[in-house]
């Protein structure tokens, strides 16, 4: 149990540090790492949701002055429409073989990475409202099935020529508001059997705070482009490992 707690705490701290430094990738990292550590899919999604929720809350309050709530609240409400569909899909995926889940999660992360790398757009002051709806509905579904709802919103945010603070906090604020509904649906779909031990929850708070502090400090000393390159490279390595590990057994 002690070794498991250390592993979970280290994953939380690492993911918090990455997200604090580059503004994304908490769940992309945590999901794959928890699965590689042998944690079942429902518990993985719940731990990832709890950890990323705390991280997003801390960062949102740190960047509170940059949040445009008139845009954030409606988009979070749109995300909530497709969130139950994602949870329902997750419930069926949970019955699959663990190796298949690892491969599927690795492929999902690689797909998201490819889209982020390939899809380059020229930022504009305004986009048609329909693009926001597409991003939010896709995000809601991905949040439900894998707690990976950030990428569609990140692509939408980066299509705007917003100041850095607003660009960095918007996705976190939208998904932060969605967290209570997400957790309630997870408990409704899987029952209290997926509730992590209290020791894991207690480990979550200091690990997230330490990782956040480390990430904010790192972000001050490295360029944003270099940090992004490091994060994408690590994600590619971890996702390929998740795919290869079951196949090489």
67: which DSSP letter?
Answer: -
Cα atoms found within 13 Å of the Cα of residue 4, Cβ hemisphere only: 10
Mean pLDDT of the chain: 82
* pLDDT surpassing 60 at residue 1: no
Q: Supply the pLDDT for residue 199.
A: 62
Nearest one of 137, 139, 136 to 147, comparing CA atoms? 139
Q: Supply the pLDDT for residue 53.
A: 86
Q: Supply the pLDDT for residue 82.
A: 96
Average pLDDT over residues 134-142: 92
* pLDDT surpassing 60 at residue 218: yes
Cα gap 207→211, rounded to integer Å: 6
- Model pLDDT for residues 72-121, shown as the tens digit of each residue: 999 999 999 999 999 998 888 877 777 787 788 778 878 877 876 777 66
Share of residues in the chain with pLDDT > 70 (%): 90
- Model pLDDT for residues 28-73, shown as the tens digit of each residue: 788 888 888 888 878 888 888 888 888 888 878 888 898 999 999 9
Cα gap 145→29, rounded to integer Å: 15
Q: Supply the pLDDT for residue 96.
A: 76
Considering its fold, how many domains does the chain have in total? Answer: 1
Q: What is the domain range of residue 49? A: 2-247
* pLDDT surpassing 60 at residue 127: yes
Asked if residues 197 and 91 have their Cβ atoms less than 8 Å apart, the reply is no
- In the numeric block, which tokens belong to residue 198? 């209290």
Cα gap 115→77, rounded to integer Å: 25
- Model pLDDT for residues 167-212, shown as the tens digit of each residue: 878 888 998 899 899 989 988 888 776 676 666 666 778 888 899 8
Write the CA distances from 164 to 10, 15, 158, 181, 227, integer angstroms.
Answer: 29, 21, 10, 29, 15
Share of residues in the chain with pLDDT > 90 (%): 15
């Amino acid at each position: 149990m002690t070794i498991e707690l250390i592993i979970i705490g280290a994953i939380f701290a690492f993911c918090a540090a990455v997200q604090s430094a580059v503004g994304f990738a908490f769940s992309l990292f945590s999901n794959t790492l928890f699965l590689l550590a042998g944690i079942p899919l429902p518990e993985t999604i719940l731990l990832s949701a709890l950890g990323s929720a705390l991280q997003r809350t801390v960062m949102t309050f740190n960047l509170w002055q940059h949040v445009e709530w008139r845009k954030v609240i409606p988009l979070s409400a749109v995300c909530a429409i497709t969130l139950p569909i994602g949870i329902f899909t997750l419930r069926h995926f949970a019955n699959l073989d663990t190796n298949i889940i690892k491969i599927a999660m690795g492929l999902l992360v690689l797909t998201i990475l490819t889209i982020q790398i390939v899809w380059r757009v020229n930022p504009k002051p305004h986009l048609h409202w329909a693009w926001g709806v597409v991003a939010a509905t896709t995000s809601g579904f991905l949040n439900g099935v894998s707690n990976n709802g950030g990428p569609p919103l990140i692509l939408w945010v980066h299509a705007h020529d917003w100041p850095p603070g607003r660009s960095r906090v918007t996705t976190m604020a939208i998904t932060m508001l969605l967290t209570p509904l997400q957790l309630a649906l997870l408990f409704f779909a899987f029952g209290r059997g997926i509730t992590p031990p209290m020791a894991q929850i207690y480990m979550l708070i200091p690990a997230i705070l330490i990782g956040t502090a480390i990430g904010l400090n790192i972000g001050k000393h490295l360029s944003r482009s270099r940090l992004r390159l490091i994060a994408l490279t690590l994600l590619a390595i971890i996702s390929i490992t998740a795919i290869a590990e079951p196949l090489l057994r």
